[in-house]
Amino acid sequence: MAWRCSAPTNAGLIDNLTTANILSTPRIIAAMKATDRAHYSPRRPYDDAPQSLGFGATISAPHMHAHALESLAPMLRPGASVLDIGSGSGYLVAVFSKLVRPGGKVVGVEHIKELNEAAESRFVAAEGTLAKELLQKGEVVFKTADGRRGCPGEKFDAIQ
């Protein structure tokens, strides 16, 4: 049961999501374990519940991220292009970036400028030099825009 997946650590959270049969794809499990939610969720990152980011926005509950990733698993391959609409925390952008490397691209779209800037900052703080490289190469992009309009001129293998 999803609401029982909370844990004191990121690894414990992912293990609980796996035990609850919410996660099953090894690549997704590894990517989620390698992306510590503590860098992206301001409070109680390992609680399986949405957390406020401010501005009336939330980072989704971990089980919701797990369901989304599992649903998109066939499309999340090296070289794929992914659009993350409502990327205010930056968490899924980070997970997607691990799943589509090498050669892939992740675009995070957030309509609240402050959240978009914070998401990019969290990504850089969490992923370090690699994040800076991915941003510089355009393999990860954070855009302040209305996600309902998509990204005109770009094609994506997966949209979340």
Catalytic residue, candidates 41, 60, 81, 87: 60
Strand ordering across the sheet containing 81-85: 140-144, 105-110, 81-85, 158-159
Q: What does residue 118 show for φ and ψ, rounded to 5 degrees? A: -65, -40
> What DSSP assignment string belongs to 125-139?
HHHTHHHHHHHHHTS
Residue 142 tokens, joined: 């954070």
By the 8 A CB rule, do 144 and 150 touch? Answer: no
For residue 8, is the peptide bond before it cis, meaning its omega torsion is within 30 degrees of 0?
Answer: no
Secondary element (H or E) of residue 109: strand 105-110
Measure the CA–CA gap between 54 and 155, rounded to whole angstroms: 31
Active site residue 41: no
Other beta carbons within 10 angstroms of residue 140's beta carbon come to 29
Catalytic residue list: 60
